[in-house]
Amino acid sequence: MEVIFMTLIVTLLNGAIVFMDSILADQISLTLYAEQYMVVSGNGTMVEILFEILLGFGVSLIILKFLKKGFECYVMWTDGDPDSEPTNLILRFIQAIVVAICFPTLYSWLADITENLSNDLLAGIGISTNYDWQIWVTGLSSAGIITAIFGLVFVICYFLLHFQFLMRGLEIMILRVGLPLACIGLLDNDKGVFKSYIMKFFQSAITVIIQISLCKLGVGMMMNIGLNKNLFWGIACMALAIKTPRFLSEFMLPIGGVGNSVVNNLYHSVRLVGMAKNMVK
């Protein structure tokens, strides 16, 4: 029975290692420029086309909101402070237009900084991506059934993390396309939804850096199968990498603002509904 299980595990591992080298090498670009890895996107032109469409729509809404706020504040005196200088509203209007138009350049800077920082961190801890996975599988098969099971758990965590990178890439791609609409919030004194929107970009960038570092550190640990402790450290690194988004969301999301008030209202509404059901029962 043990021989059958070992043969099955080795077969699964041999099938998995075909994809692992290519996955490990392109994780940064995959998350920052997901459209370049999607065959149907036309080599990245899909995001550019969608951004241009929403840019025109977003600029139109920014202009309409600027005129509306100016009319209600300085003509109807029903919104804002009529005694405040109209220069502030004009400056916020210019800021919204400039950020919406220049965002592709700003994002390319953020992507370059993220990629360079990730590469520097990986170089600093001495992690290489040139691994011989076949030797690793052979070593697992000769180390016993327990070690092989740990190797299978590691590979499962590895692919779960890869799917997280895919979803993170799609998330960043949607954020990039929709930013002109978020710039409408810059016309408000508290920046509206724009504050939470930009914070989401930085949170995604930091999440990618930490996850990639932990992933490659875990792979480096697992390669030294001669040390049993490294098996546990490798799996621990992968498990923490998978939990990184939840970990960072606990302290990186801004407190206050429109988005947070909506979440709080929704939370309290659900609580009231639950209390009402309990009273009925």
The answer to whether residue 88 scores a pLDDT higher than 60 is yes
Give the pLDDT confidence score for residue 269 in this predicted structure. 44
Which CB contacts under 8 angstroms, 24+ apart, belong to 103-109?
103/51, 103/176, 103/179, 103/180, 104/48, 104/51, 107/176, 107/201
Q: Quick check: 248 and 203 in contact, CB under 8 A? A: yes
Express each pLDDT in 182-232 by its tens digit: 888 888 878 888 888 888 888 888 888 888 888 888 887 777 665 556 778
Give the pLDDT confidence score for residue 267 in this predicted structure. 43
pLDDT band per the 50, 70, 90 thresholds, residue 118: confident
Looking at mean pLDDT, say which of 1-15, 53-67, 108-122 comes out highest: 53-67
pLDDT band per the 50, 70, 90 thresholds, residue 31: confident
Q: What's the chain's Rg over C-alpha atoms? A: 25
Give the pLDDT confidence score for residue 258 in this predicted structure. 39
Give the pLDDT confidence score for residue 39 in this predicted structure. 62
pLDDT band per the 50, 70, 90 thresholds, residue 79: low
Distance CA 235, CA 231 (A): 6
- Over pLDDT 70: what percentage of the chain? 75
pLDDT band per the 50, 70, 90 thresholds, residue 261: very low
Give mean pLDDT, residues 54-67.
88
pLDDT band per the 50, 70, 90 thresholds, residue 251: low
pTM (2 d.p.): 0.74
Contacts of 213 (CB under 8 A, 6+ apart): 118, 121, 122, 125, 127
The answer to whether residue 78 scores a pLDDT higher than 70 is no
Give mean pLDDT, residues 232-255.
77
Q: Which residue has the higher pLDDT, 72 or 169?
A: 169
pLDDT band per the 50, 70, 90 thresholds, residue 67: confident
Give the pLDDT confidence score for residue 2 in this predicted structure. 66
pLDDT band per the 50, 70, 90 thresholds, residue 254: very low
Give the pLDDT confidence score for residue 83 in this predicted structure. 56
Give the pLDDT confidence score for residue 272 in this predicted structure. 45
Q: Find the range with the poorest average confidence among 29-33, 150-154, 254-258.
A: 254-258
